[in-house]
Structure formats: structure tokens, C-alpha cells
């Protein structure tokens, strides 16, 4: 190092590495937040679709949803409803059929 030269190249590279690490960590943090919000939206849409599907006897396809989460999905959520049988009585219950309403990204 030359006499009187304060800032070395090592120090400059060190600072650059620290800034890069902080930037990467921040990016990861913000990404996690947005992914969580997307999941919340999927969960809400699936739950709404299952409720409306039950009230109006609509299939998952009618509600714009799938019946399962495909392997290529990044995130997914399924809400389930069961058939309502007003004639059910003790000892003669029909087995309720389930319908899954799945959303994904």
C-alpha cells in the first residue's frame, strides 16, 4: 500500500459484498410477503367458491376452480363442501359426497 493511501481495493470490494448481501436478503424478505398474500387470496377464493357452490349446487368448474392441485402448481388451496341430504334420518344416512374447489398459482 502506498503511503498516505487510505482506501484499499479490498475494503471497497468488502463494502460492495456487504451491500449485495443486504440487497439479496431484503429481496427475499419482500418476496416472502407477497407470496403469503397470494396464498391468502387463493385460500379466500376457494372458500368463497365452496360456499357458493354449496348454496347453488355449482360444480368447481362452474365456479372457475379445479378439483385438485396439479403438480406444476406453485401454491394451491382446496376448500371442500359436502352434499346436503334433507331426507337423512338417524340410521338411514346417505354417505355425503364431497366436492373440492381448488385454486392455485
Partner 1 sequence: MRRPVNCFKVKNMKKAQLLSLDLLIALVAIVFALGLLVQLSETRIYSQKEETMQKELESIGNTAAVRLVGNPDIICSLTSDSGTHISYLENCIDTAKINQPNLGIPQNYGFALFEKGNPNPIAGTAIPTAPAPKNVFAEKRIVVTHSGPLSKSDFEKCLAGPAGNPCLGATNRLAQNEITLYLWRQ
Asked if 1 is part of the footprint of partner 1 (rule: CB under 8 A), the reply reads no
**What single string gives the DSSP state of each residue in the chain?**
--TT----HHHHHHHHHHHHHHHHHHHHHHHHHHHHHHHHHHHHHHHHHHHHHHHHT--TTTTT-BSS--TT-SSEEEEEEE---TT--TT-PPPPPEEEEEEE-
Closer to partner 1 at the Cβ: 6 or 97?
A: 6
Site string for partner 1, 35-74 (x = CB under 8 A): ---------xx--xx-xx-xxxxxx--xx-----------
List residues near partner 1 by CB under 8 A: 4, 6, 44-45, 48-49, 51-52, 54-59, 62-63, 84, 86
Amino acid at each position: 500500500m502506498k503511503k498516505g493511501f487510505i482506501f484499499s481495493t479490498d475494503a471497497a470490494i468488502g463494502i460492495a459484498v456487504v451491500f449485495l448481501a443486504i440487497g439479496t436478503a431484503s429481496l427475499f424478505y419482500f418476496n416472502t410477503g407477497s407470496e403469503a398474500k397470494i396464498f391468502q387470496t387463493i385460500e379466500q377464493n376457494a372458500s368463497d367458491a365452496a360456499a357458493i357452490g354449496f348454496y347453488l349446487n355449482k360444480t368447481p368448474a362452474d365456479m372457475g376452480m379445479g378439483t385438485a392441485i396439479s403438480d406444476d402448481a406453485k401454491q394451491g388451496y382446496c376448500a371442500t363442501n359436502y352434499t346436503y341430504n334433507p331426507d337423512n334420518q338417524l340410521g338411514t344416512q346417505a354417505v355425503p359426497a364431497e366436492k373440492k374447489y381448488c385454486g392455485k398459482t
